[in-house]
Amino acid sequence: MASMGELADIGVADLLYLLALRRQTGKLTINANGHEVHLFLEEGQLVLVTSSNFNLRLGRMLLRLGMIEAEQLSAALQEQERTGQSRSLGSILIARGWISDDELAQCIEDQCIEIVARVISTQQGIFVYTRGVQVPRRTEIVPLNADRILLEATRRTDELSTLLSLLPPSAAPIAISNRIDELADSLTDIEVLVAATLQSGAGSLDELTEHLVMDELTLWRTVISMRERGLLVASEESPMDTRTLPPRNDQSSPHEEEMTPFDPERL
């Protein structure tokens, strides 16, 4: 049975607390900020976290953490494609000796923390909880310290909310200002990289995120700093801004499971 609700009525942290208290097994799906997140639980414990956010995918995270090279990721993805997706990306990288079990576990924990921090910090969106859903096959299953993940994700929430409030809309046009030349000697290495990426064709925060393999929070801090110093100019409004789009309200297929309003008493 599936039930749904609004994040404005009950936050993700409270949802996870309730599901843990009732020792629930199932899948919590969250649609917010233009992305879809799946949180799988077994007996109330968080066992798997996935996100549609490209920058938070496992391969991208491994690159950002410096654990693999782009060529290694490309080769592993090609092998995964040849095997018909029957092997997980992590297992291929481990088999080739490019990462260790511990490195994979560390990356997945960091990935979970980032994903959970973002959904905890959002107050707009919808959630669907489906009881009894099992973890999908061919996914990276490593033991998760759910308490540590939730604690660290909660700690990051305040900073995340502050950064998001200072950023331009993610799809809004941004460009280098005329001041960049006069302040060129004061730029940090990361600021030089951001400026070069904008000059080479990237035109929004979304495109910077796609082109630059770096920690997203570091990129956000850099963009905010450059903007405050007048090195970047941004349009505040964009009709395609994914961070302000309301959740989709597609008509249900007749084959989809009927939804009921979320009621904690029915768990």
86/119 same-domain check: yes
pLDDT at 102: 92
Q: How many Å separate Cα 70 from the centre of its chain?
A: 20
Residue 25 has pLDDT above 90, yes or no: yes
223/256 same-domain check: no
Q: How many Å separate Cα 53 from the centre of its chain?
A: 5
Q: How many CB atoms lie within 10 A of CB 165?
A: 8
Residue 116 has pLDDT above 70, yes or no: yes
Residue range 50-75: mean pLDDT, rounded: 91
**169 lies in a domain?**
no
Which residue range(s) make up the domain with 9? Answer: 2-158+244-266
**166 lies in a domain?**
no
The residue behind tokens 């809309």 is 169
Rounded Cα–Cα distance for residues 186 and 44 (Å)? 51
194/151 same-domain check: no
pLDDT at 241: 41
Q: How many domains does the chain have?
A: 2
62/106 same-domain check: yes
Contact 160, 123 (CB under 8 A): no
pLDDT at 208: 93
Residues with Cβ within 8 Å of residue 153, at least 6 apart in sequence: 112, 113, 114, 116, 117, 120
23/125 same-domain check: yes
134/11 same-domain check: yes
